[in-house]
Amino acid sequence: MSNLAFVKADSLVKEFSIKPEGISFMRAASVQAVSGVSFEINRGETFALVGESGCGKSTIGRLSIGLLKPTSGSVYIDGIELGSLSGSDMKRMRSKMQIIFQDPYSSLNPRMRALEIVAEPLLAHKVYSSRAQAMQESMHLLEMCGISSSLASRYAHQFSGGQRQRIGIARALALRPQYIVCDEPVSALDVSIQSQIINLLVELQEMLQLSYMFISHDLSVVRYISDRVCVMFLGKVCEIGNTNEIFGSPRHPYTKLLLEAVPKADPTQRKDKDVLLGDMPSPINPPSGCRFHTRCPYKKGICSELEPALEIKGDRSVACHFPFS
Amino acid sequence: MQNQEEALHADTALLRIAAMLRTDKKAAFGAVVIAIFILVALLANAVSPYDPYKIDLANRLGPMSAKHLAGTDSFGRDVLSRIFYGARISLVIGLLPSIIAILIGTALGLVSGYYGGFIDFIIMRLADIVLAFPSLLLALVIMYSLGVSLLNLFIALAVINWGVTARTVRAQTLSLREKEFVEAARACGVSDLAIMFRHILPNCIPTLLVILTLDIPEAILSEATLSFLGVGAEPPTASWGLMVSENKQFLFSQPWVAIAPGIAVLLLVISFNFLGDGLRDALDPFMSE
Amino acid sequence: MQSVLEIKGLTTHIKTKAGTIVPVNGVSLSVLKGEIVGIVGESGCGKSMMAMSVLQLLPAAGKIVDGQALFEGADLLGMNKRQMRSIRGDKISMVFQEPMSSLNPTMKVGKQVSESLILHTKASRAEAKERTVQIFQEVGIPDAQRRYNSYPHQLSGGLRQRVMIGLALALKPALMIADEPTTALDVTIEAQILKLMKGMQAASNTSIILITHNLGIIAELCSYVYVMYAGQIMEQAPVFELFAEPKHPYTQGLLKSLPMLGEHREKLHAIPGSVPNLASLPPGCSFCPRCDIATSACYTLKPGLEKISEARKARCLLYSKGVAL
C32 and C175 within one domain:
yes
Higher pLDDT: B237 or C239? It is C239
Phi, then psi, of A237 in degrees rounded to 5: -80, 130
Q: Do B190 and A120 touch (CB under 8 A)?
A: yes
In-domain check, residue C251: yes
How many Å is the maximal CA-CA distance in chain B?
A: 77
**Average pLDDT for C81-100:** 84
Question: What is the reported pLDDT for B289?
Answer: 38
Name the most confidently modeled range: A59-63, C41-45, C112-116, C164-168. Answer: A59-63
- The per-residue pLDDT for range C253-295, each reduced to its tens digit, is 999 888 876 655 578 888 988 888 888 888 889 999 999 899 9
Q: Do C260 and A263 touch (CB under 8 A)?
A: no
Please state, as a whole number, how many other Cβ atoms lie within 10 Å of the Cβ of residue C123. Answer: 16
Higher pLDDT: A58 or B157? It is A58
**Distance to chain B for A184, nearest Cα, Å:** 13
- The per-residue pLDDT for range B184-197, each reduced to its tens digit, is 999 988 989 999 99
Q: Which chains touch B (3 or more CB pairs under 8 A)?
A: A
In-domain check, residue C313: no
Confidence of residue A87 (pLDDT cuts 50, 70, 90): confident
Q: Which residues of B211-236 are buried (b: 16+ CB within 10 A; e: fewer)?
A: bbbbbbbbbbbbbbbbbbeebbbeee
C85 and C187 within one domain:
yes
Secondary structure (3-state) at C61: coil
Integer CA distances (angstroms), B36 to A244, B14, B266, in order: 75, 20, 15
DSSP B230-260: TSSSPTTS--HHHHHHHTGGGTTTSTHHHHH
| Chain Cα centroid distance, residue B42 | 18
**Distance to chain A for C292, nearest Cα, Å:** 13
C162 and C261 within one domain:
no
Cβ-Cβ pairs closer than 8 A, A with B, add up to: 84
- Cβ neighbours of B176 in A, within 8 Å: none
CB B164 within 8 A of CB B105: yes
- Of A121, A226, A236, the closest CA to residue A169 belongs to A121
Q: Do B6 and A153 touch (CB under 8 A)?
A: yes
Cα–Cα distance for residue pair A231/A320, rounded to 1 Å: 12
C10 and C20 within one domain:
yes
Question: Which residue does chain B place closest to A183, by CA atoms?
Answer: B180
Q: Does residue C188 belong to the interface with chain A, where contact is any CB pair within 8 Å?
A: yes
C245 and C234 within one domain:
yes
- The per-residue pLDDT for range A104-136, each reduced to its tens digit, is 888 999 888 999 999 999 999 988 989 999 999
Question: What is the reported pLDDT for A31?
Answer: 85
In-domain check, residue C239: yes
Domain range enclosing C278: 3-91+171-282
- The per-residue pLDDT for range B70-119, each reduced to its tens digit, is 777 777 788 888 888 888 888 888 788 888 899 999 999 999 999 988 89
**Distance to chain A for B74, nearest Cα, Å:** 55
In-domain check, residue C297: no
* Optimal mutation site among B1, B180, B193, interface A, most CBs of chain A within 10 A: B180
Q: What share of chain C is helix, strand, coil (3-state, %, to 5)?
A: 35, 25, 35
Cα–Cα distance for residue pair A303/A325, rounded to 1 Å: 18
Please state, as a whole number, how many other Cβ atoms lie within 10 Å of the Cβ of residue B58. Answer: 8
Confidence of residue A6 (pLDDT cuts 50, 70, 90): very high
Confidence of residue B1 (pLDDT cuts 50, 70, 90): very low
Q: Which residues of A26-38 are buried (b: 16+ CB within 10 A; e: fewer)?
A: eeeeebbbbbebb
CB B114 within 8 A of CB B268: no
CB A67 within 8 A of CB B183: yes
- Cβ neighbours of A125 in B, within 8 Å: 188-189
Higher pLDDT: A20 or B243? It is B243
- Which of 171-210 (A) contact C at CB < 8 A? 190-196, 198-199, 202
Q: Does residue B2 belong to the interface with chain A, where contact is any CB pair within 8 Å?
A: yes
- Which of 191-210 (B) contact A at CB < 8 A? 191, 194, 198-199, 202-203
E-assigned strand segments in chain C: 3-16, 19-32, 36-40, 62-71, 74-75, 92-95, 175-179, 207-212, 224-229, 232-238, 301-302, 305-309, 312-315, 323-324
Q: Which chains touch A (3 or more CB pairs under 8 A)?
A: B, C
* Optimal mutation site among A109, A115, A160, A165, interface B, most CBs of chain B within 10 A: A109
In-domain check, residue C161: yes
- Could you tell me the CATH number of the domain that includes residue C10? 3.40.50.300
Q: Do A261 and C156 touch (CB under 8 A)?
A: no
In-domain check, residue C323: no
The percent of residues in chain A predicted with pLDDT above 70, rounded, is: 95
* Strand order through the sheet with A72-77: A30-42, A5-17, A72-77, A80-81
In-domain check, residue C164: yes
pLDDT at C296 over 60: yes
Cα–Cα distance for residue pair C313/C26, rounded to 1 Å: 14
Q: Do C261 and A219 touch (CB under 8 A)?
A: yes
Cα–Cα distance for residue pair C167/C159, rounded to 1 Å: 12
pLDDT at C187 over 90: no
C66 and C107 within one domain:
no
pLDDT at C122 over 90: no
Per DSSP, what are the bridge partners of residue A5? Answer: A42
**Average pLDDT for B28-34:** 91
Q: Does residue C42 belong to the interface with chain A, where contact is any CB pair within 8 Å?
A: yes
C139 and C66 within one domain:
no
C193 and C222 within one domain:
yes
Question: What is the reported pLDDT for B11?
Answer: 54
Please state, as a whole number, how many other Cβ atoms lie within 10 Å of the Cβ of residue B92. Answer: 16
**Average pLDDT for B160-175:** 91
Identify residue C216 by its one-letter amino acid code. Answer: G
Structural domain count of chain C: 2
Q: Which chains touch C (3 or more CB pairs under 8 A)?
A: A
* Mean pLDDT score across all residues of chain C: 88
Angle between helices B25-42 and B256-283 (to 10 degrees): 130
Domain endpoint, select from C117, C135, C170: C170
pLDDT at C100 over 90: no
Q: Which residues of B120-158 are buried (b: 16+ CB within 10 A; e: fewer)?
A: beebbeebeebbeeebeebbbebbeeeeeeeebbbbbbb
Q: Which residues of C260-286 are buried (b: 16+ CB within 10 A; e: fewer)?
A: ebeeeeeebbbbeebbbebeebeebbb
C110 and C76 within one domain:
no
C223 and C163 within one domain:
no
- Of B218, C147, B188, the closest CA to residue A127 belongs to B188
Confidence of residue A1 (pLDDT cuts 50, 70, 90): very low
Q: Do C187 and A217 touch (CB under 8 A)?
A: yes
- Cβ neighbours of A91 in B, within 8 Å: 189
**Distance to chain C for A126, nearest Cα, Å:** 35
Angle between helices A114-124 and A161-173 (to 10 degrees): 20
The percent of residues in chain C predicted with pLDDT above 90, rounded, is: 41
The percent of residues in chain C predicted with pLDDT above 70, rounded, is: 98
Question: What is the reported pLDDT for C1?
Answer: 65
- Cβ neighbours of A160 in C, within 8 Å: 274-275
- Cβ neighbours of A62 in B, within 8 Å: 183
- The per-residue pLDDT for range A14-44, each reduced to its tens digit, is 998 876 555 555 566 788 899 999 999 999 9
Please state, as a whole number, how many other Cβ atoms lie within 10 Å of the Cβ of residue A125. Answer: 18
- The per-residue pLDDT for range A89-98, each reduced to its tens digit, is 999 999 999 9
Helix (H) or strand (E) holding B149: none
Fold adopted by B14-47+79-287: MetI-like fold (1.10.3720)
> How long a stretch of residues is chain B?
289
Question: What is the reported pLDDT for A24?
Answer: 53
Q: Do B187 and A110 touch (CB under 8 A)?
A: no
- Cβ neighbours of B188 in A, within 8 Å: 94, 98, 120-121, 124-125, 171, 174-175
Of A90, A101, A151, the CB nearest to B184: A101
C77 and C176 within one domain:
yes
In-domain check, residue C308: no
Cα–Cα distance for residue pair C224/C313, rounded to 1 Å: 12
**Distance to chain A for C18, nearest Cα, Å:** 14
pTM value is 0.84
C136 and C70 within one domain:
no
- Which of 86-125 (B) contact A at CB < 8 A? 116, 120-121
Please state, as a whole number, how many other Cβ atoms lie within 10 Å of the Cβ of residue C136. Answer: 25
Question: Which residue does chain C place closest to A198, by CA atoms?
Answer: C268
Higher pLDDT: A20 or B212? It is B212
Terminal Cα-to-Cα distance of chain A (whole angstroms): 24
Terminal Cα-to-Cα distance of chain B (whole angstroms): 19
DSSP B59-87: GTTPPS-SSSTT-B-TT--BHHHHHHHHH
